[in-house]
Amino acid sequence: MLPDRTLATKTDSHKREGFKQRKDQVTLLFCVNKSGSHKLRPLMIEKARSPRCFHHVNMKALPFEYTNSKNAWMNRSIFEGWFHKTFVPAVRAHLRKLKQEGKALLLLDNCPAHPPSGKSFQS
C-alpha cells in the first residue's frame, strides 16, 4: 500500500494538501591542514539531541563528532568545546609525531560563533 502523506521539497511539482516541506538542517565543520595530510574528525551539528537514526548506535564509534543546538547552527560554546577538546589535542599530537614546534594557525571566517578578531585562544 502506498503512503498517503510524504515530505515534499520546494521544487516538487506535486504540491497538494497533506504535503509539507522538509525543515531539516545540519551544519558540518571540516578541518584539514594545508597539504591535506592531517584531517580532523568532522563535526556534525543537528537539532536533535539523540536522533532516531542513531537509536541503537554507539555515538562515540561514529566517523564524526556529533552535537546539537536549537537551530542546528554553530554557536560559541560548541565552537570553543570543539577547539579545546578536538582541535588542540589532535594538532598537538600530529606536531609531536612530526617532531615539529607546537604552533598552529587556524583560519576562521567572521561567523559570530568564532572568537572576535585579535583574540587568541590559550591552550
Quote the CA–CA distance of 26 and 39 in Å, as a whole number: 20
Q: Which residue has the cell 537551530?
A: 71
What Cα–Cα distance (Å) separates residue 96 from each residue in 46, 77, 92, 93, 105? Answer: 33, 28, 6, 5, 16
- What pLDDT, in 10s, does the model give residues 69-97? 999 999 999 999 999 999 999 999 999 99
Q: Do β-strands 7-8 and 20-21 pair in parallel, antiparallel, or remain unpaired?
A: parallel
Q: What is the pLDDT of residues 14-58, one digit of tens each?
A: 555 555 666 678 999 999 998 999 999 999 999 988 888 888 888
pLDDT digits (tens, 9 = 90+) for 48-65: 888 888 888 888 888 999
